[in-house]
Copies of this chain bind each other. A is one copy, B any other.
Amino acid sequence: MKGVGRSGAPTMLDVAREAGVSVATVSAFINNTARVSPGTTGRIETAIRRVGYQRNAVARSLKLGKTHTIGLTVPHITNPFFTEVVAVITQAFDRAGYAVMLFCTDENLSNQDEQIRLLLDRMVDGLIVARVGDDEAFGNIVRTAKVPIVLIDRLCDGIDLDAVVLDNKAAVFEAIEYLARLGHKRIGYITGETDIATMRERDAGYRAALAARGIAFDPLLVRRGDFHEKDGYSAAMQLMTLPDRPTAIFSANNPMVVGAMKAIRDLGLRCPEDVSVICFDDFPFADVFQPQMTTVRQPVEAIGEQAVAMLLDRINGNAPTDPRRLTLRGRLMIRSSCVAVPAASSEPQSQSA
């Protein structure tokens, strides 16, 4: 007979009765939002212990209009980039006293749509999203949201939101440039669909680096997939069975590179002897096995920390009204998966593994 919510858990009213005061006083004591006399303080404290009171956060949220909860959606949590970003974000929010509700959209627009809707229904105080789908669709979902949102990894052209992203073009430019310096002229490029701005930027970096080095762009060398391992596998298969096959492969996404490596292996080829490879997004195992993978590393710590800071600023009203966009630099982690192209290289500079 203690109410029905939370299986009849004791409420403030129980505490109040036990202590012989009103619920207002109990509330005032708990939130110390008003002075309460030492005597009552004591009685309330013991009453709380006696009845085993725990605050009911949902009633509190309803009244206050704040849940101290934020929503986080990412495409795939098993992609090591997202794993790490999720790790730093959850930790940062934990420290700030927030809970985070996590959803994986699996690159699926309608999943994302529904998940964000669910999150909004639950009155989250804010959202961090690594979005999927095209810009317009996302804009529609988001325009109705009344809470702050910060985008990570992927911007949205149609709508102005806080965001922290990578300078994708520069990052792949550097990687492709590095391959070109090693004498590679046929550089395969495995990537995702162009409906995602991030991928368009990476594409631009690829073409710009080629152009800067005077290498002709060959559409046969670019293969698009859906970010999954199997897509990487078939992409690399096609690439490496081309009549004039590439001497290097750049994968614009991490799960796809594991497929690519498997394809290379299944073809009886070796990396780096037969083909150099670089992939986007560093991962913990990159430097423990052979070959040690050359990758472009995103500053995951900074991305997570900054996104959380931005969102918290907005929630607390400490942010300027204009959306802020933070663009971070990637870093090429040069290891051993790339070597100079052996023969027929017209580049004078040579470099051995």
Contacts and interface: CB of A to CB of B under 8 A. Distances in A.
Nearest to A54: B121
A102 interface: yes
A123 interface: yes
B122 A104 contact: no
A5 B146 CA distance: 11
A123 B117 CA distance: 20
Nearest to A271: B289
A91 B104 contact: yes
B104 A87 contact: yes
A57 B110 CA distance: 20
A333 interface: no
A241 B260 CA distance: 37
A286 to B, nearest CB: 8
A102 B87 CA distance: 10
A4 B65 contact: yes
Contacts of A291: 289-290
B101 A69 contact: yes
B52 A121 contact: no
Nearest to A144: B52
A6 B126 CA distance: 11
Nearest to A63: B5
Interface in A35-55: 52, 54-55
Contacts of A7: 65, 146-147
Given A99-B122, A104-B87, A123-B57, A265 B285 contact: no
| A contact residues, range | 35 or more
Nearest to A82: B83
B102 A102 contact: yes
B102 A100 contact: yes
B94 A83 contact: no
A118 interface: yes
A4 B66 CA distance: 10
A284 interface: yes
A288 interface: yes
B9 A146 contact: yes
Nearest to A55: B121
Interface in A114-153: 115, 117-123, 144, 146-147
Contacts of A262: 287-288
Contacts of A289: 261, 285, 289-291, 293
A62 interface: yes
Given A59-B62, A90-B103, 19 more contacts: A5-B123, A6-B123, A6-B147, A7-B65, A7-B146, A56-B123, A57-B122, A58-B123, A62-B62, A77-B83, A78-B284, A94-B104, A94-B115, A99-B103, A100-B101, A229-B284, A255-B284, A262-B288, A290-B290
Of all A-B residue pairs in the complex, the 5 with the closest CB atoms, nearest first, are: A289-B289, A5-B65, A7-B146, A57-B121, A290-B290
